[in-house]
Amino acid sequence: MNPWNGESLEFLDGQLILIDKPYGWTSFDVVKKIRYNICQKLQIKKIKVGHAGTLDPLATGLLIIATGRFTKKVDELMGLEKEYSGTIKLGSTTPSYDLETEVDQEFRIDDLTPDKILLAAKTLTGELDQIPPIFSAKKVDGKRAYKMARTGKEVELKARKVQVKTFDTKSSKIPDIEFNITCSKGTYIRSLARDLGLELDNGGHLTVLRRESIGHFTVCSALTPDSFIDTLSAL
């Protein structure tokens, strides 16, 4: 399956559109934007449009959009290996494991060294039993966990199996640790940030996240939503 090259309007037959999701947008925001502009261009009322793997609003990077008949391929695409880059801040934690919520605990970091961080990251590779963040879209008794968490309700999520192939760190700017991670479907990078902090006994939370690739599809080949609209308008 080749991604859309900006030369075809066969969106009903099926296209894969690679989008570089902007910061602050939900994945559904992107889907709505793409769907609306395709409908306007084709002068149709509706078309099936979906995405292959949610990105949190605070994350950027590759979002694969499928249209028409290709929406049937979404599950297949979601199962592909993913690569992420970003930054973890050690020495403090947040309830959401990222910047969605305020810092709730702080820890000393004077004992941190690049070697200790590297070794801790290596313990978080392979098959892991990972507990998703309570500020996530996982369902508990039919309700979204994040909705319950935001009201102050206690949320308990079960661990699930994930595969982390690589977890590489750069520690030149401690406590801000740059990373590259390759992992399976369903892996929460926020949870890995929390777990790295737990391994080091210093706390940690995610501050920057970017999805670099899904399978062989890379963000280098992606368009911003505005670039997609401009390209579409020019056809």
Active-site annotation, residues: 56
> Which residues are CB-neighbours of 72 under 8 A, at least 6 positions away?
none
User: Largest alpha-carbon pair distance within the chain?
Assistant: 62
Q: Provide the pairing of β-strand 204-214 with 60-67.
A: parallel
Identify the CA nearest to 65 among candidates 56, 53, 57, 76.
Answer: 53
Q: Which two tokens stand for residue 140?
A: 């508990």
Backbone angles phi, psi at 92, to 5 degrees: -160, 155
Identify the CA nearest to 90 among candidates 208, 190, 200, 210.
Answer: 200
Residue keyed to tokens 């801040």: 89
Identify the CA nearest to 58 among candidates 22, 28, 24.
Answer: 24
Cα–Cα distance measured from residue 86 to residue 226, given in angstroms and rounded to the nearest whole number: 24
